[in-house]
Structure 1
Amino acid sequence: MPVPIRSGTPKKPSEMMRLFMTTFIGIIFGFFLGISFPTLSLSKMNLPSSLFPSIDLTYIEDKYSGLSKQALFNAWASLKGNKEASPLLPRYNKTEIWVPTNPRGAERLPPGIVASESDFYLRRLWGLPSEDLTIEPRYLVTFTVGYDQKKNIDAAVKKFSENFTIVLFHYDGRTTEWDEFEWSKRTVHISARKQTKWWYAKRFLHPDIVAPYDYIFLWDEDLGVEHFDAEKYIKLVRKHGLEISQPGLDPDRGTTWAMTKRRDGIEVHKDTEERPGWCTDPHLPPCAAFVEIMATVFSRDAWRCVWHMIQNDLVHGWGLDFALRKCVEPAHEKIGVVDAQWIIHQGVPSLGSQGQAQKGKAPWEGVRERCRKEWTMFQDRMTNAEKVYYKAMEMDPPN
């Protein structure tokens, strides 16, 4: 019987190789021909979408037209999700601005117009902007206040020179009443009822907002300042290289920690001896690298770290004082108490009255209970976050 024969004859291996090489050379030639004509409109070519199911040709043409060969390779890598492609080329056009080194969201702006930082300097509504300020304050001091403490705050504010911007955070909603004081007219007032200074700090003292200030004072309202001078305090902080500090506290007014008690005859101290069993290491809190959160003073750099550590929902800040050391190195040398400029902690339980009576408990009892809970919650969050980090880095955590 006749043997059926398929149409066509099998190609020899040499012919297959020639066909493959011809096709490959054609692809390469087409590629370089394409990039030689950047005005060629890919979007106007009638190519079936099935060939490029996940690529928007119009987007590619707009985003990468006019680029060099290397830029096209980088662009293709970025389309595949490779974030390590050239950081300078995520978007480029002859008539379009794209600056990846600008702050996030401002890439379309020329760098010369970007104002990435701000301040609390008050401005006039008339005249030239360059003539608004007779002096640009170098330091910032904030008090979280209720109107009942107006006499105390009046005395405290007068201890700060014109080198300080004054900000009052009002937890009782009363702001206009403070106009009885002349200095109040030059003060920034921010009001939100029944909030704490750490709530305010997280929302209004972002590092880019307080960037012009060398030091940030974050103070309570119940501090006696008869023995305090702010300018002299700054000089001592600079002299002793303190990034996080506080004035010494009058030891006769029931202080909690030995570290914060004022010592006679010295300018600054950075460590102390506590009760037996309280310190596992002489360089760790509460024997060193420790100040309380009632009258804390931060350098600009230290505050940038601390701000990120403040939790949005843990508004009382309990536990922060034990963790501040994580923001400076070496902490036992850069955290300290200024003895030569000291204050009196009056211990006025003003925030307690802002609480709410529940289940037979007085308002202040609920506030204090939450303070203690927040301390435990903050410690747990910090411990868990560190465990996750060390595990991800395959490292043994320090003791």
Structure 2
Amino acid sequence: MELLNSWFSCQDDPGLREIFLFSLKLKAFEHYGEPNTQEYPFPRSHYPSLIPSIDLTYIEDKYSGLSTEAFLNAWSSLKGNRGSSLQFSLNETKIWVPTNPRGAERLPPGIVESESDFNLRRLWGMPSEDLAIKPKYLVTFTVGIDQKKNIDAAVKKFSENFTILLFHYDGRASEWEDLEWSKRAIHVSVYKQTKWWYAKRFLHPDIVASYDYIFVWDEDLGVEHFNAEEYIKLVRKHGLEISQPGLEPNQGLTWQMTKRRGNSEVHKETEEKPGWCTDPHLPPCAAFVEIMATVFSRDAWRCVWHLIQNDLVHGWGLDFALRKCVHPAHEKIGVVDAQWIVHQSVPSLGNQGKAENGRAPWEGVRERCRKEWEIFRSRLADAEKAYYKGVGIDPPNSTEV
């Protein structure tokens, strides 16, 4: 009743009445819109009926430009005029910043550190003096000990401008310690997991935000003709947000798009088998790279990370969906011919499967890959249909993966 008395006592003063309403909104919805039922012990459904003519949106808009000093002066006047009958108080010392990252709203913005990196820090000295060189790029390899020699050769193609991150799927990270560069690399070891499982859990966009480009690579890549710094120059020159090195055509290739061309620096489109491309600007004729040696810009990765499904670990189907993350995709996705690699197609991860029902370990892994592709296609198609239905328009024809 005291609350209602306070409301009716404000009726003869429009200014005080609106400030009262504004304070009501602050108090009753201070926790994500949840009413404070300890102070107002009536059901939530009763709130609209208490003061039926209130338009809180109008009040909020009207007083959005009200200075703190003016508001507090008016508030003090209201409290002085109405005495103890008014139940609300404004605690001007409380911090609440809704534009802070979720969960950090109670912190002053100046102390919020929303991003991180993989830079190694000393245990002594000044933090500002920890890094002689701050790496600008990140390269990750998902590795087993059998490919140690190959990875050693690959890492040496990346300068000190790169942070090296190894994901060990065989649990044998300690066996890399004899390599000099291994001491400054980051090692993450989880038994029998794929690079997309690792990427979803350890390459959150806020963790890799300090890197201009993120290389997410397999372990079976020949890099004799590859230089990472030169690759970055070409990617910048041609405006590629998602890319891969061209593949040396010395073995059978699945897609013409990723085949290296000897007469160009970069290519962004190709011709495929008849009927494979419904549109020359769509995969696999354009806006397409494979997922064994993909390179992402920071902004592209922020989108792609959200596209990676938490439970789909092989990444099949991602190559056809990457175009969702850049625009125009047929200009932002391409293959770098002047810096090329060899895909050695070593089925090392396939051997991490389980032999059962008379089948080899790799057979179960391959079956899982195919199933994941179908699941991913269905999820993406359903999500897009639901979105377009929700906004009341017909979906475009190019939503298939």
Write the mapping of 1:192-211 to structure 2, written as runs, cut at 5 A. 192-211=190-209
Closer/same/farther in 2, CA of residues 365 and 240 from structure 1, 3 Å limit: same
Q: State the match for 1:351 in structure 2.
A: 349
Structure 1, unmatched stretches of 5+, are: 1-22, 38-53, 61-72
1:261 alignment partner AA? K
Q: State the match for 2:80 in structure 1.
A: none
TM-score, length basis structure 1: 0.81
Q: State the match for 2:11 in structure 1.
A: 28
Which of 185, 188, 194 is the equivalent residue of 1:187? 185
Q: State the match for 1:15 in structure 2.
A: none
Deviates more, 1:217-226 or 1:354-363: 354-363
Deviation beyond 6 Å, 4+ runs, structure 1:
30-37, 85-89
Q: Does 1:368 align with 2:366?
A: yes
How far apart are the structure 2 equivalents of 1:264 and 1:208? 38
How far apart are the structure 2 equivalents of 1:354 and 1:241? 38
Give the conservation status (yes or no) of the 8 Å contact 1:202–1:310: yes
Q: State the match for 1:326 in structure 2.
A: 324
Write the mapping of 1:52-131 to structure 2, written as runs, cut at 5 A. 55-56=36-37, 58=39, 93-131=91-129
How far apart are the structure 1 equivalents of 2:36 and 2:260? 68
Q: State the match for 1:234 in structure 2.
A: 232
1:341 Cα shift? Answer: 0.2
Write the mapping of 1:149-160 to structure 2, written as runs, cut at 5 A. 149-160=147-158
How far apart are the structure 2 equivalents of 1:257 and 1:372? 17
Closer/same/farther in 2, CA of residues 86 and 368 from structure 1, 3 Å limit: farther
How far apart are the structure 2 equivalents of 1:25 and 1:148? 80
Q: In the comparison of the two structures, how many residue pairs are matched?
A: 344
Q: State the match for 1:306 in structure 2.
A: 304
Closer/same/farther in 2, CA of residues 87 and 176 from structure 1, 3 Å limit: farther
1:294 alignment partner AA? M
Structure 2, unmatched stretches of 5+, are: 1-5, 21-34, 42-53, 69-88
**For residues 316-341 of structure 1, what are the alpha-carbon distances to aligned partners after superposition, in whole Å with 9 as ceiling and x for unaligned?**
00000000001000101110000000
Percent of pairs identical after alignment?
Answer: 75
Q: State the match for 1:20 in structure 2.
A: none
TM-score, length basis structure 2: 0.80
How far apart are the structure 2 equivalents of 1:170 and 1:59? 56
Closer/same/farther in 2, CA of residues 131 and 359 from structure 1, 3 Å limit: same
The alignment yields a C-alpha RMSD, in angstroms, of: 2.9
Q: Does 1:272 align with 2:270?
A: yes
1:28 alignment partner AA? Q
| Rg larger for | 1
1:93 Cα shift? Answer: 2.6
1:35 Cα shift? Answer: 9.0
Q: Does 1:139 align with 2:122?
A: no
Give the conservation status (yes or no) of the 8 Å contact 1:87–1:100: no
1:77 Cα shift? Answer: 6.3
1:185 alignment partner AA? K
**For residues 213-241 of structure 1, what are the alpha-carbon distances to aligned partners after superposition, in whole Å with 9 as ceiling and x for unaligned?**
00000000000000000000000000000
Closer/same/farther in 2, CA of residues 327 and 87 from structure 1, 3 Å limit: farther
Give the conservation status (yes or no) of the 8 Å contact 1:270–1:337: yes
2:361 alignment partner AA? P
Which of 216, 219, 227 is the equivalent residue of 2:217? 219
**For residues 239-296 of structure 1, what are the alpha-carbon distances to aligned partners after superposition, in whole Å with 9 as ceiling and x for unaligned?**
0000000000011122110000001021000011111111111100000000000000
1:56 Cα shift? Answer: 3.7
Closer/same/farther in 2, CA of residues 182 and 24 from structure 1, 3 Å limit: closer
Q: State the match for 1:249 in structure 2.
A: 247
Q: State the match for 1:41 in structure 2.
A: none
Closer/same/farther in 2, CA of residues 192 and 305 from structure 1, 3 Å limit: same
